[in-house]
A and B are shown apart, each in its own frame.
Chain A
């Protein structure tokens, strides 16, 4: 079982629709969760972080966390063609405070938004 799992896609949605991206993780000790966007040939760009159960909204993006189900999701409202990219879910399994911590990444979900 992979530590962080995502559907590889591609996920295709029409412009203006809601794109829903999902991620599950295996380590119940995971404490912080991140969504990155990566355009082809570019570096990952942080778009959302979430630490507590529930929803967190930022503009057109909403991250959802359910620690009991070990599930993280990202919703993109009013999807635009410029949102077409690979979305990476990352989990931090920090054990020692004040020492940062490595991120474990999923394989990424490729999103295609059709005009």
Chain B
């Protein structure tokens, strides 16, 4: 019974390159959340998606960041033209459908992004 899967686990990019982070939710889960943890800071919500829909993107930076969760395949968090300030751990979490306020979110191992 696999948990939330993320890849790559570590990603190094030079300034100006693109970063693509992937997340496959737990089996039976249809809600995906992305969080970012900057060094010495807490976990911050970025975006919440269901299949083919962005439900809440209130935590996404206005520029360079986008997310999708297609009908088939993993959820993708895409960061264009990365800057050093994007260096962080990016965590994906998933939760089952139809739980409403009682949804428990389970986290993947994270992707550590380093921008040189």
A103 close to B101 (CB less than 8 A): no
CB proximity of A82 to chain B, nearest CB, Å: 19
B110 close to A49 (CB less than 8 A): no
B42 close to A103 (CB less than 8 A): no
Residue from the list A42, A92, A94, A108 in contact with B42, Cβ < 8 A:
A108
Neighbouring B residues of A32 by C-beta, 8 Å: 101-103
* Chain A interface, >50% SS class: loop
B42 close to A102 (CB less than 8 A): no
B109 close to A100 (CB less than 8 A): no
Which of A90, A97, A102, A107 has the most chain B CB atoms inside 10 A of its CB? A102
- Chain A proximity mask over B69-95: 1 for CB below 8 Å, otherwise 0: 000000000000000000000010101
Given A43-B91, A43-B108, A100-B55: A92 in contact with B45 (beta carbons within 8 A):
no
Given A88-B42, A100-B55, A100-B95: A31 in contact with B33 (beta carbons within 8 A):
no
> A2 vs B34: C-alpha distance in the bound complex, in angstroms?
21
Neighbouring A residues of B59 by C-beta, 8 Å: 102
- Chain B proximity mask over A32-49: 1 for CB below 8 Å, otherwise 0: 101010000011111001
CB proximity of A11 to chain B, nearest CB, Å: 17
B56 close to A44 (CB less than 8 A): no
Closest to B44 in A: A105
| B28 contacts the other chain (CB 8 A) | no
B42 close to A46 (CB less than 8 A): no
A106 close to B55 (CB less than 8 A): no
B55 close to A104 (CB less than 8 A): no
> A97 vs B103: C-alpha distance in the bound complex, in angstroms?
10
Neighbouring B residues of A69 by C-beta, 8 Å: none
